[in-house]
Homo-oligomer: A and B are copies of this chain.
Amino acid sequence: MKNIDVCLTPDLLHLHSIDNSIVIIADIFRATSCMITGFAYGVKSIIPVETVEECKKLQEMGYIAAAERNARKVEGFELDNSPFSYMSESLIGEKIAMTTTNGTYSIAKAKASAVKVLAGAFLNLNAIVNYLKTQPYDVLVLCAGWKGRVNIEDTLFAGALIEALEDEYFVPEDSAIMSLRLYKQAKDDLIGYLANSSHIRRLQNLGIHKDIAYCLQKDLYDVVPILRGNELVNL
């Protein structure tokens, strides 16, 4: 039987052996939700990079650049970290270079040893589930968190994925059991459950209630972003 496990923040990834695992990166607010939206709207590829400087270099080479730090758009880049900015005809067939506070860092950490790296969010939950079921590998959900700390929304996504897979996967570790139980507690009202979370408070100061509600919708897109070399493409 395959295992499914959860790493609650990239700062704990050293505790996980992932060389037989598909790693699902979850950065619900908002990096992976943006990526999935972008692919659903026709983006060709997304290169996640760790620094603003790398992102700028790729911008000079013709990529459309997206850079977020501390939940805000970095000046001089085309796209911010709102999924609504990815719903544009101008992005069809384009290549995007993206750096974010937490999501792209997690991808960089995972890609060194994972079998495959996918981008997951509520928006493509079922697409991820269907893909994983066809694969012989263990699964690790890597929650991007916030600057090394755990957060509720990424943990809830991990729980949602486990709930969908628990009949076919073994759930050996407490981090995964905790994620599943929190999700069961939250699932009938995700927005209400998250109302008091630290990141929602951070985001509400930026006035983006619309983004929050959007990112918590399930199964909007049949999209599976997967890392091929250095870039994410739609499977």
Q: A149: CB under 8 A from chain B?
A: yes
Q: A112: CB under 8 A from chain B?
A: no
Of B14, B147, B152, B174, which contacts A199 at CB under 8 A?
A: B174
Main secondary structure of the interface of A (DSSP, over half): helix
Number of copies of this chain in the oligomer?
2
Q: A51: CB under 8 A from chain B?
A: no
Q: A11: CB under 8 A from chain B?
A: yes
Question: In the complex, which residue of chain B has the Cβ closest to the Cβ of A149?
Answer: B15
Question: In the complex, which residue of chain B has the Cβ closest to the Cβ of A12?
Answer: B11
Q: Is the CB of B150 within 8 A of A175?
A: yes
Q: Known contacts A12-B9, A15-B147, A15-B149: does B177 contact A196 (CB below 8 Å)?
A: yes
Among A8, A11, A14, A155, chain B packs the most CB atoms within 10 A around the CB of A8
Measured between alpha carbons, how far is A174 from B11 in the docked complex, in Å? 16
Digitize A135-167: 1 where CB-to-B-CB distance is under 8 Å, 0 elsewhere.
Answer: 000000000001111111001000000000000
Question: In the complex, which residue of chain B has the Cβ closest to the Cβ of A7?
Answer: B149
Of B146, B148, B155, B177, which contacts A12 at CB under 8 A?
A: B148
